[in-house]
C-alpha cells in the first residue's frame, strides 16, 4: 500500500518542482551575468584558472545565499 501511494505522488511532485525550477533558473542566470562583469572574474581568467573553477568558486559562490 505504501508503494502504491508513493507511485501516485511522483507526478505531482515533479510538476510542482518544475514550476519552481524555472524561477530559480531565471534568477540564477541574471545573477551570473551580473557577476561575470566584475574585475575579480577578469583577474581569475587572466591567471589562467580553468573555466569550471571560475564558475563554481567565484561566480556561483558570489550569488549563493549564505546561512
pLDDT digits (tens, 9 = 90+) for 4-59: 888 899 999 999 989 889 888 898 898 889 888 899 999 999 999 999 999 888 88
Distance CA 59, CA 55 (A): 5
Residue 18, CB-side half-sphere exposure with 13 Å CA sphere? 6
Check residue 43 and give its pLDDT. 94
Check residue 44 and give its pLDDT. 93
Q: Write the DSSP symbol of residue 6.
A: H
Residue with cell 580553468: 50
Amino acid at each position: 500500500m505504501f508503494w502504491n501511494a508513493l507511485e501516485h505522488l511522483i507526478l505531482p511532485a515533479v510538476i510542482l518542482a518544475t514550476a519552481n525550477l524555472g524561477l530559480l533558473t531565471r534568477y540564477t542566470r541574471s545573477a551570473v551575468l551580473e557577476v561575470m562583469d566584475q574585475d575579480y572574474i577578469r583577474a581569475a581568467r587572466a591567471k589562467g584558472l580553468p573555466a569550471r573553477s571560475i564558475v563554481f568558486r567565484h561566480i556561483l559562490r558570489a550569488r549563493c545565499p549564505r546561512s
